Amino acid sequence: MIEKDKQLQQALEELKQADLYRSRRVIDSAQGIYLQLDGRQVLNFCSNDYLGLANHPEVIQSFKEAADRYGVGSGSAHLVCGHGLEHHALEEELADFTGRDRALLFSTGYMANLGVIAGLMVKGDTIYEDKLNHASLLDGGLLSGAKFKRYLHNDLHNLQLKMQGQEAGQNAMIVTDGVFSMDGDVACLLGLSALAEQQSAMLLVDDAHGFGVLGRSGGGIVEQYQLTQAQVPLLIGTFGKAFGTSGAFVAGSEAFIETLIQKSRTYIYTTALPPAVAAATRTSLRLLQVDGWRRDKLNQLIMHFRRGAEQLGLELMPSESAIQPIILGKSQKAMQASAALLKQGIWVSAIRPPTVAQGSARLRITFSAMHDIAHVDQLLSALDAVAI
């Protein structure tokens, strides 16, 4: 064990030398535009709380009332005695919201992606995944034991080539993010849906970063493109982004959802979300639908930032989402830029390999409806001063 400890210490030191070491920072405040970090207030541009619901008073009140009634823990897995009224009501409301037959709750987004893919696909099946998919989608594909193929990012032609020779009747699944979490661009969903139908393949979309943000009523990328359950049979979303709470869900047909209840290991063998979290999420779901101004304001902030960044000569990626990366290349450069911004009281995360490809380390800037134009201008001035 002593020898293994030395090996691990050496590997950790190598990560530090390569500017790839990850460290946690401890905040002492609620999530919001301003965070309390190391005894001072910093302006936050690295949260996924896109609509500003994580600290919304109505969401908090719903949590408190449910905690008073149901306590703070669910006590068990959904299939034992942990499936409560708040869970069930949330599933029904999500099914209605997404236009699907049913919805099923998971304790985290990672567990949803692992459980859905591995619960439906087995050895002998084939899974096709975008190269820039989230790690949880990739891990779900590998865990399933199915033949695993990755296609070039948003490249329908490359996917079509990969699917040539697929045997008739063989189970196949195309898996994609809706909004790609590190680049901020969206999947070419119309083309993917058409190809899936042509090849008799299932299409799974993880719209973690699209729900609440995209679509007329916040229904995400499938609402934006007006795609039905038949066109996108499996729709996954998380509550830790625009919903401002915690957990995840999958929505789909009666047969898909019932199969997952029977076979998805990450659903069956884990404790259910606290009922109070489900209650809070129900309030978030209502707010993200009725408060359309949040999406409108978020879009205004994004456009203002992109115009300002262009004037500064910053090279942005083709993203119209709340995720606005600035590619800097080397990990050291990204770390230095992030540290320089923090000195100015602005928190922007540096994203490095293996989260992104070698040579594409970046600042990942994210916006919230709670930001104001003045906050964006402050960020732009700070970026100009850092001279990245």
Residue 16 forms part of a structural domain: no
Report the distance separating Cα 339 and Cα 346, nearest Å: 9
Give the active site residue among 47, 74, 181, 264.
Answer: 181
* Domain tally, the chain: 2
Q: How much is the pTM? A: 0.94
Condensed to tens digits (0 to 9), the pLDDT of residues 318-358 reads 999 999 999 999 999 999 999 999 999 999 999 999 999 99
Q: What pLDDT does residue 95 have? A: 98
Report the distance separating Cα 11 and Cα 338, nearest Å: 24
- Do 261 and 298 have their domain in common? no
Is the pLDDT at 387 greater than 80, yes or no? no
Longest dimension (CA), the chain: 62
- Do 160 and 263 have their domain in common? yes
Q: What pLDDT does residue 166 have? A: 76
- Do 68 and 122 have their domain in common? yes
147 is known as an active-site residue:
no
Q: What pLDDT does residue 167 have? A: 73
Which token pair is 300? 């205004």
78 is known as an active-site residue:
no
- Do 297 and 286 have their domain in common? no
How much is the mean pLDDT over the chain?
96
- Do 190 and 79 have their domain in common? yes
Q: What is the mean pLDDT of residues 9-13?
A: 94
Q: Given 290, 320, 336, which residue is the final one in a domain?
A: 290
Pair 124, 139: CB distance under 8 Å: no
Condensed to tens digits (0 to 9), the pLDDT of residues 271-285 reads 999 999 999 999 999
- Do 143 and 264 have their domain in common? yes
CATH (domain of 77): 3.40.640.10
Condensed to tens digits (0 to 9), the pLDDT of residues 229-257 reads 999 999 999 999 999 999 999 999 999 99
253 is known as an active-site residue:
no
Give the active site residue among 134, 241, 371, 375.
Answer: 241
Q: Given 270, 290, 310, which residue is the final one in a domain?
A: 290
% of the chain surpassing 70 pLDDT:
100
Report the distance separating Cα 308 and Cα 224, nearest Å: 27
Residue 1 — very low, low, confident or very high, per pLDDT cuts 50/70/90?
A: confident
Residue 11 forms part of a structural domain: no
Q: Put residue 242 in one of left, alpha, beta given phi > 0 → left and psi -120 to 50 → alpha.
A: alpha
Pair 322, 209: CB distance under 8 Å: yes
Give the active site residue among 78, 87, 209, 371.
Answer: 209
Q: What pLDDT does residue 157 have? A: 97
Is the pLDDT at 102 greater than 80, yes or no? yes
Residue 18 forms part of a structural domain: no
Residue 123 forms part of a structural domain: yes
Instruction: Determine the structural domain holding residue 35 and report its residue range.
Output: 24-51+292-386
CATH (domain of 372): 3.90.1150.10
